């Protein structure tokens, strides 16, 4: 089953970073084009949150830097540091506050200079019956593992999660800090879901959701609930959240004895799920608004590193000349 899924995505996967027009890169998939028709510029919450957070310019731990550069996960990066494979400015790195990475520091793994990749973001239409994970002990299809192979990118981070039976928009990135900002509770990035339920949502339920609710000692933030359509047996509702707790929608609706028949995420922050993007397809998205800070930081760090390397090479050459 996993082989057929990979073959399907290989057929439809297309990213063209050269054609950046509007929010989405234009992408030719057969005779279809994914264009900028589904743009939503409502990124005010992200912008205000980032404006009040200067951590983007602070130094970071070695393992965090290595993960951001796509070398390995933070846990595996820690193992690499402990084994003495990582150096900072030619000094063997160790775990601790005295070994923090800043602009211009030269980090090497196995004597190879590590440079961060330019931050990128992709939109993926997750199909049902796939895990947003790299591996599964039960042998189920794992989205991250499949896309890493198809996109030929070993370091892909999903922004938030969707459970095995849910579907819709998943953001992917190669930058750990970008992922953190988009999914961190304090940024209050909106997530919008279309949910088909068995039964109906009452006005009392809507009021309880909008006030915020506590279930099994877990506090859930206010949820905006709207009824899109309903029949005697089932309804389509629209839920707007500002956090992403584990299986939040399913647990809350179960609390009201409401069965979820289908759950589709249609929006995450300023990014909408394009109506032309079929399940299994992925497309590159442009970093909008204040999220462009991540690209600016990457550019700043890269220039500082390159200058330090150039100055060091010049110094070594001068020493060779003087020693002759």
Active site residues: 163
**What backbone phi and psi angles, to 5 degrees, belong to 271?**
-105, 120
**265 contacts 273 by C-beta, under 8 angstroms:** yes
What are the Cα distances from residue 155, in Å, to 66, 100, 174, 229?
11, 22, 6, 41
**157 contacts 173 by C-beta, under 8 angstroms:** yes
Beta bridge partners of residue 11, listed in sequence order: none
Tokens read off for 227: 């009824």
Q: Is 35 exposed, middle or buried (0-12, 13-18, 19+ CB in 10 A)?
A: middle
**Distance of alpha carbon 7 from alpha carbon 298, whole angstroms:** 34
**Distance of alpha carbon 37 from alpha carbon 45, whole angstroms:** 22
**Distance of alpha carbon 160 from alpha carbon 172, whole angstroms:** 9
Tokens read off for 213: 């609710």
**What backbone phi and psi angles, to 5 degrees, belong to 109?**
-125, 120
Tokens read off for 165: 């039976």
Q: Is 104 exposed, middle or buried (0-12, 13-18, 19+ CB in 10 A)?
A: middle
């Amino acid at each position: 089953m996993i082989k057929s899924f990979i073959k399907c995505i290989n057929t439809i996967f297309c990213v063209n970073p050269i054609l950046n027009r509007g929010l989405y890169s234009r992408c030719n998939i057969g005779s279809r084009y994914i264009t900028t028709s589904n743009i939503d510029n409502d990124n005010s919450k992200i912008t205000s949150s980032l404006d009040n957070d200067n951590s983007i310019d602070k130094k970071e731990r070695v393992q965090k830097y290595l993960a951001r550069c796509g070398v390995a996960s933070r846990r595996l990066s820690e193992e690499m540091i402990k084994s003495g494979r990582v150096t900072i400015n030619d000094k063997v790195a160790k775990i601790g506050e005295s070994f923090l990475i800043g602009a211009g520091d030269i980090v090497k793994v196995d004597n190879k200079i590590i440079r961060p990749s330019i931050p990128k973001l992709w939109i993926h239409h997750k199909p049902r019956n796939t895990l947003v994970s790299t591996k599964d002990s039960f042998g189920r299809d794992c989205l991250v593992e499949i896309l890493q192979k198809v996109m030929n990118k070993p370091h892909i981070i999903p922004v938030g999660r969707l459970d095995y039976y849910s579907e819709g928009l998943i953001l992917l990135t190669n930058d750990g800090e970008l992922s953190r900002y988009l999914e961190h509770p304090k940024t209050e990035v909106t997530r919008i879901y279309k949910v088909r339920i068995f039964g109906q949502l009452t006005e009392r339920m809507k009021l309880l959701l909008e006030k915020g609710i506590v279930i099994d000692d877990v506090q859930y933030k206010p949820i905006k609930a709207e009824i899109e359509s309903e029949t005697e047996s089932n309804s389509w509702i629209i839920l707007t959240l500002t956090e992403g707790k584990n299986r939040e929608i399913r647990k809350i609706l179960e609390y009201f004895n409401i069965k979820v028949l289908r759950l589709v995420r249609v929006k995450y922050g300023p990014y909408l799920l394009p109506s032309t993007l079929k399940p299994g397809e992925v497309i590159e998205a442009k970093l909008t608004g204040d999220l462009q800070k991540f690209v600016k930081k990457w550019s700043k760090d890269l220039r500082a590193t390159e200058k330090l390397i150039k100055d060091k090479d010049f110094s070594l050459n001068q020493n060779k000349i003087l020693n002759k």
